[in-house]
Amino acid sequence: MIKLSDLRSRPRISWNWFVIGLSMVMAPGRFKNWWLRRTGANIHHTAWISPDVLLDPVFPELLIIEENVFIGWGASIFTHMIDKKGGEFVTIKGEVWLQKGCFIGGKSTVKPALKVGRDSKVGSHSLVTRDVLPGTIVVGIPAKEIPNGEYRE
């Protein structure tokens, strides 16, 4: 079994949890973005990170949030995960890049090693498992593109 302490030092993970945990009750704004940068995350000062947003505390330095990005209430952004493949536990980690002007809906989850393109939108309660192309709208579990931005049952 892989332990978090095998990936990062305990004091570093504890510090990141402290910073991220406190930020979850902060109002969005420049101070919150500055505070979250204390973990090593690359967050532009114009990003809007709503309350109750969970950013990965183990590898926050792999997170890039560009200008005018909106992250809705209760969303989760992960830069690593531990998966079981072939009877072994494997750590999957990679950079998550939220490009300029993208929108992440409330309670959505973004998995590691992907890019959410410029001016794209992720619907609420969606699970993003692959790259989102610029200017597209994706919804669902897993998130799939809505052609021409029109939703049909």
* CATH number for the domain that contains residue 36: 2.160.10.10
What pLDDT is recorded for position 137?
Answer: 95
Domain count, the chain: 1
Average pLDDT over residues 119-130: 96
The mean per-residue pLDDT over the stretch 130-137 comes to: 95
- The pair phi, psi for residue 17, each rounded to 5°, is -60, -40
Residue 49: enclosing H or E segment and its boundaries?
Answer: strand 48-49
pLDDT band at 16 (very low <50, low <70, confident <90, very high): very high
Mean predicted confidence (pLDDT) in 121-141: 96
* Phi and psi at residue 134, to the nearest 5°: -60, 140
Supply the range of the domain harboring residue 145.
Answer: 4-149
Q: What is the largest CA-CA distance in the chain?
A: 49
Average pLDDT over residues 8-31: 92
Phi, psi dihedrals of residue 88, rounded to the nearest 5°: -120, 150
Task: Please identify which residue in the block is written with the tokens 């939703």.
Answer: 151
Q: Give the model's confidence band at 10: pLDDT under 50 very low, under 70 low, under 90 confident, else very high.
A: confident
